[in-house]
A and B are shown apart, each in its own frame.
Chain A
Amino acid sequence: MRPAGRAETDSLYFTYPHFDPPSNRAHLTRPVRVAIAGAGPVGMTAALALAQEGIASVLFDAKATFNDGSRAICIARQSYHILDRLGAVKPFLEKSLGWTRGRSFYRGRKILEFEMPDSPREKYRPMYNLEQQYIEQYLWDAIEQEPLIETRWQSRVSGLEDLEEGVRLTIQDPVDTYQVDCDWLLAADGARSTIRGLRGLRLKGENFEGRYVIADVQMEHDYPTIRRALFDPDCRRGGTILVHKQPDNIWRIDYQLRDGEDEAEAIREDTVRASVAAVLTEIGYDGDWDLEWWSIYSANTLALDDYRDGRVFFIGDSAHIVPIFGVRGLNNGLADAHNIAWKLAWVLKGKAGPRLLDSYTPERRGATLDVFQNASKSARFMTPPTAGWQLMRDAALNLSLSHPFAGELANPRQMTPYTYADSPIVTPDEDGFEGGPKPGAVLPNARVNGGFLSDLLGDGFSLIVFSPELADRLADLDLTPLVLQPGSEAADVLAASPGSAYLVRPDMHIAARWQSASPEAVRAALELAVAGGKT
């Protein structure tokens, strides 16, 4: 929502583009290989990831511009790696604000200062703040450079029909209603997914009690990019407030509504202004400010039972709704997009068996459930659901004023990427590998010859080895060999000995690893990783 007198996309700092429906219409009913419903950050990332593999796609979006308001603002390290691999990370790095630190306050007194894990061997910081409009703009700029992606704006998917080997979409735009067949459909159409409704599928899970108003204000506030959490502040007794800095002097303020506080009343402009003013007083800001945008949000943990329905894959919010506290909504959506895109591309190119696609749900739904577990912990601290949780939360906060150990209970434990340990395409350790990242985990980074290990990975699978012989004996395989030095930083991070090897997937997750690798074992693991399981 925007202040009275301003349109939905009338922003203080961002000029929304306007997109017309397709003007060249001769080809609209021509069959497409991959259709993507929703040109938000997740849909656009999927299209870019498919294009990188040489697969053309058509994006459909009902809107004439980007999403209103800044919505998701925290982009995690692993998402920057995804953007890096898509060749799109540069504008993100230039504009966004990286951060590593958080501070928690209880009744105005600091009870915790935490650092998220970071080190010189990391190419990217643990988290970056950037308004969603810019996220969409930068992805769109990349898409405009990409001839394999066609985008049809103001084009709503209104019907869906299964074909023998595909899906028939009914598309409505301001000019016409037409049908177009696709082999595969990626549903990236958000929390209120039309595709999900058309398939008769429902999200299942829990609704938490906590409701938050999220508001963006523009102000010249002199405070570093440090996430602040205010527990039980004077301006909102019993509630919790989060404050984040964004580029362009935009500040995100999330404040919790009290039990019984009326939602309609809470989102009225004058109520929002009064609430924001009170928060600004609380954090010691007494200068001018402008209200940019606001919305209301409930903490939910909801997901589909299966992220695949025949020829349809659900990616991002259409498949799962997660609480904001873990900042995993957008980040998990980008990981979904990257995950399904390389798999679908490899199947379409005949480089992988069709069963590879069956690994999408266990891997990405597993990641969602992991987020649920962590975010539920955070939500119970931020918004205690019952008297018992409330008492222990209050006791921890109160005790933390005199005993810092209790403040650690307020640490939001920002999440690390999910390990696909139970994935059907990941080969478990067989030779008692001690230390290092487990199979299914994201490959950790390390400095190699003035650059980073992540920069050396190939577009497809990569094989990290510490002696050239193994790579030589696998020269016929479709993978990028990386010969690293024993005793190097990378060898240390990977707990590698001279005979060790790591097989790394296109999405940087570890497909298999060996303390002492044999060519046969590598061949078998690669076959498993691209076939979706041994038949």
Chain B
Amino acid sequence: MTPADLETVYEALAEQLDAIGPDRRELYLAKLALLLVHEIADAGRARSLVADAASNLEI
């Protein structure tokens, strides 16, 4: 995936999050996480990403 590819996904996510009401965004992101995990089909890798995403949240 090129930086440009990533950017298209980034934009699609932003637009999708705006299209979804604020009360449904959390549910949507959790569903998306499960879908992506299923796609990468690697529990160890997925769990490491689950932990990675938790870093720096306080900054």
- A residues sitting closer than 8 Å to B (CB atoms) are 391-392, 394-396, 398-399, 403, 405-406
Contact = CB atoms under 8 A, between A and B. Distances in A.
A401 to B, nearest CB: 10
Given A394-B30, A395-B30, A399-B35, 4 more contacts: A392-B34, A403-B35, A403-B38, A405-B38
B26 A391 contact: yes
A405 B35 CA distance: 9
A395 B36 CA distance: 13
Nearest to A398: B31
Contacts of B38: 403, 405-406
Interface in B23-38: 26-27, 30-31, 33-35, 38
The secondary structure that dominates the A interface is helix
Interface of B: 26-27, 30-31, 33-35, 38
B5 to A, nearest CB: 23
Contacts, number: 23
A396 B34 contact: yes
B16 to A, nearest CB: 15
Nearest to B33: A395
A395 B28 CA distance: 7
A220 to B, nearest CB: 40
Contacts of A403: 35, 38
Which 5 residue pairs of A and B lie closest in terms of their CB atoms, listed nearest first? A395-B30, A395-B31, A399-B31, A391-B30, A399-B34
Contacts of B27: 391, 394-395, 398
A400 to B, nearest CB: 10
Nearest to A391: B30
A405 B38 CA distance: 8
Contacts of A392: 30, 34
A406 B34 CA distance: 8
Nearest to A395: B30
23 contacts: A391-B26, A391-B27, A391-B30, A392-B30, A392-B34, A394-B27, A394-B30, A395-B27, A395-B30, A395-B31, A395-B33, A395-B34, A396-B34, A398-B27, A398-B31, A399-B31, A399-B34, A399-B35, A403-B35, A403-B38, A405-B38, A406-B34, A406-B38
Contacts of B33: 395
A334 B31 CA distance: 42
Contacts of B34: 392, 395-396, 399, 406
Nearest to B24: A398
Contacts of A398: 27, 31
Contacts of B30: 391-392, 394-395
Contacts of B35: 399, 403
Nearest to A409: B34
Contacts of A391: 26-27, 30
Nearest to A399: B31
A210 B47 CA distance: 28
Contacts of B26: 391
B22 to A, nearest CB: 15
A399 B27 CA distance: 10
B27 to A, nearest CB: 6
A394 B26 CA distance: 10
B45 to A, nearest CB: 17
B44 to A, nearest CB: 18
